Amino acid sequence: MLRAVFSALLFCAFFGQTLAQSTAYVFKGGLSLGTQKWDNADRQLLFAWNAALAVESVENEENRGSLFAQFGYHVRGSATRFRFVNLNGFPGNTFSEGFRFNNLSLVLGAKQKFPMGAEGQHRYYYFGGIRGDYTLSTNIDDLSQGNPCAVGVYPFIGGVQRWIGGVSAGGGFEFELSELVGVQMELAIHPDFTLQYRQPPANITLPGDCTLSGTPTPISIPERKIRNTTIELTIGLRLLKKVVYEE
């Protein structure tokens, strides 16, 4: 159902592009700050990156509003960081690991723009849209390194949800370098509505090497739900394909 909705929206966005006088192509990338809720508890930020291509309609010379479709590669996730304390009470080594989900993302939405400066060549804008992600890969299997004692701590690869739905919203600035070339700076937030990970409750037995008693011990692992939120700061090159009608 989710895939059918996004396919219909993509068709509408493409059809709208064909009616526009001109089209802008934006190649952009930048820094991602990922966080997640694990069972409604916030985790630490994951520093990663993103890259995307956006296609945007340009309705008229004033360019006050537009429809856009954006497709890109985004690293989502969260991190764990803490510092050990040695026997003397002083800070020791720092432990850090990231939970990474490498996603392809499609955003379909609209922009509202406002002129800046005396000549109105530069603009600031805000936007919103609906988003669908597909998870290509993740590193969660690598983190546990097959350690049976970590089974209750790390997520299982089988719990990863490959298809995810969410929204995207933000704002930015467009600066014209020439009639057909410009640059764009943008800050956006991408919260997911559906889960990146869902693990049902499970009963397992820890090997004796993992217990204080040295004997295999049954334990219960509660249900785990993980949801993404990503903040992205990007800079991009904006190229305008202008259509001029001659009478």
Centre a 10 Å sphere on the Cβ of residue 196 and count the other Cβ atoms it contains: 27
Amino acid of residue 67:
L
Q: Which of 8-12, 14-18, 172-176, 239-243 has the highest mean pLDDT?
A: 172-176
Residue 209 in domain: no
Query: According to the model, what pLDDT value does residue 20 have?
Result: 44
Residue 42 in domain: yes
- What letter would DSSP give residue 18? H
Query: According to the model, what pLDDT value does residue 84 have?
Result: 56
CA–CA distance, 56 with 231 (Å, rounded to integer)? 21
Looking at 21-30, 93-102, 123-132, 175-184, which range is the least confident one? 93-102
Q: pLDDT exceeding 70 applies to what percent of the chain?
A: 76
Query: According to the model, what pLDDT value does residue 112 have?
Result: 94
Residue 22 in domain: yes
Query: According to the model, what pLDDT value does residue 138 have?
Result: 95
Residue 87 has which token pair?
């026997």
Query: According to the model, what pLDDT value does residue 128 have?
Result: 97
CA–CA distance, 200 with 156 (Å, rounded to integer)? 11
| CATH code for the domain of 140 | 2.40.160.20
Helix H or strand E encompassing 15: helix 2-19
CA–CA distance, 54 with 182 (Å, rounded to integer)? 14
CA–CA distance, 163 with 64 (Å, rounded to integer)? 34
**Do 194 and 233 form a contact (C-beta atoms < 8 A)?**
no
Query: According to the model, what pLDDT value does residue 87 have?
Result: 59
Give the mean pLDDT of the chain.
Answer: 84
Residue 246 in domain: no
Residue 113 in domain: yes
Which residues span the domain enclosing 175? 2-199+221-241
What is the Cα 81 distance to its own chain's centre?
21
pLDDT in tens, 56-83: 998 766 678 889 999 999 999 999 876 6
Q: Is the pLDDT of residue 19 over 70?
A: no
Residue 204 in domain: no
Q: pLDDT exceeding 90 applies to what percent of the chain?
A: 51
Higher pLDDT, 171 or 96: 171
Please give the tally of structural domains in the chain.
1
- Of the chain, the end-to-end C-alpha distance in Å amounts to 46
